[in-house]
Amino acid sequence: MPAELTQEQIKSILQGISIPPQPQVMVDLQMEQLQPDCDISAIAALISQDVGLSGSILKTVNSPYFKLSNTITSIQQAVNLLGVESVVNLVNAHSIRGALSDDDIIAMGRFWDNAMEIAMAAAAIAKQIGYPHPDDAYTLGLFHNAGVPLLLSRLKHYPDVIKKAYASDYRRITETENELISTNHAVVGYYIAKSWNLPKYLCEAIHEHHHVQKALSDENGDGKKKTLLAILKMSEHCCGTHRALAQTNEDHEWNAISETVLIYVGLTEYEFSALKEQIHELGLGNTDYYS
């Protein structure tokens, strides 16, 4: 096990693409750190609620410094491997670097809430359909839209772009983005995921999450990736990503791909409706994103 990370090592690892941490999570983490019996499990649970912090923790534990034989995708496992001191140092580094204006916090609030809900829903759906790696489903749910906050922070008109993209009932979301900004959040998210040293199949799933029909119809495609994509799209629909990011009531993407997704996972419309109700009973997907 490597020694505690130094500030220089942390600085080196954190270079590159960064997503600002959620302010409330930072506050909760700071409060937990002040407890005399600081609980590493509680810290891991808090970190797992935030896209930027989770990404940095996974990037750190999967960096060459640790020389692990297997790529880590579980936040709890990553935090356990790093230890309290290194995790606290990483969190504090984010606290200094990730200062947000009030406008930034408001603009990204819906993204943070929706990412957390989708991650939790994805893990729950994975268990319900018998997928053996719910941690992977959670990780993909948390990170799949990681490109969105980066684009929000760099392009003032990006909220209008994403609204137009989700409002179209005949074009892929990423096609509209490509036309208006010459890139899209799936491509940006893919490079963020690569910079965080996420496994190849998760990076590819992030890149392909708006090309699900093509991915699922690929007979030579990675079965793990295809199942994760199917779980993700069910989770997005259950949690109302179309409302969270674009304030639109119609989930055009789900309407176009639902038959393909449900056939792939072996669910009927009735069974999926029941599953959706279970997700809502967990308190997920009921957020009023218009408030």
The helix or strand, by DSSP H or E, that contains position 32, with its residue range, turns out to be: helix 23-33
Residue 259: the pLDDT is: 96
From the number of C-beta atoms within 10 Å of its C-beta (0-12, 13-18, 19+), residue 15 rates as exposed
Q: Kindly state the tokens that stand for 27.
A: 């506050």
Residues 273 and 105: their CA atoms lie apart, in Å, by: 34
Check whether 98 has a pLDDT greater than 60: no
> Nearest Cα to 44, choosing from 71, 20, 75, 21?
75
Distances (CA, A) of 169 to 172, 179, 261: 8, 16, 18
Q: Which has more confidence, 244 or 31? A: 244
pLDDT for the residue numbered 277: 94
Taking all residues of the chain, what is their mean pLDDT, rounded to a whole number?
83
- Across 175-200, average pLDDT: 88
Tell me the percentage of the chain whose pLDDT exceeds 90: 39
Lowest mean pLDDT among 17-31, 172-186, 201-215: 17-31
d(CA 212, CA 228): 10
Whole-structure pTM value: 0.74
Q: How far apart are CA 39 and CA 271, in angstroms?
A: 39
Instruction: Return d(Cα 258, Cα 246) in angstroms, integer.
Output: 20
pLDDT of residue 290: 41
- Say what angle helices 269-281 and 102-128 make with each other, to 10 degrees: 130
Tell me the CA distances in angstroms from 28 to 17, 34, 44, one per residue in order. Answer: 24, 10, 12
Of the listed ranges 8-17, 28-37, 170-179, 255-264, the least confidently predicted one is 8-17
Q: Which helix (H) or strand (E) holds 235?
A: helix 223-239
- pLDDT tens readout for residues 196-211: 778 899 999 999 999 9
Query: Is the model's pLDDT at 110 over the cut of 80?
Result: no
Q: How confident is the model at residue 26 (pLDDT cuts 50, 70, 90)?
A: confident
Structure tokens at 113: 């809430």
Domains of the chain with CATH codes: 7-97 (no CATH), 102-281 (1.10.3210.10)
Give the residue, 187 or 154, on which the prediction is more confident: 187
* pLDDT at site 174: 94
* pLDDT bracket for residue 8 (50, 70, 90): low
Name the residue among 41, 90, 71, 64 with its Cα closest to residue 139: 71
Determine the pLDDT at residue 256. Answer: 94
Burial (Cβ within 10 Å: 0-12, 13-18, ≥19) of residue 271: middle
Residue 96 has pLDDT above 50, yes or no: no
Q: Which residues contact 233 (CB under 8 A, 6 or more apart)?
A: 209, 212, 253, 254, 257, 261
Which pLDDT tens digit goes with each residue over 239-291? 999 988 888 899 999 999 999 999 999 999 999 999 999 999 988 887 554 44
DSSP assignment letter at 61: H
Mean pLDDT for 24-30 is 75
Residue 55's pLDDT is what?
Answer: 84
Mean pLDDT of 5-13: 54
Look at residue 15 and tell me whether its pLDDT is greater than 80. no
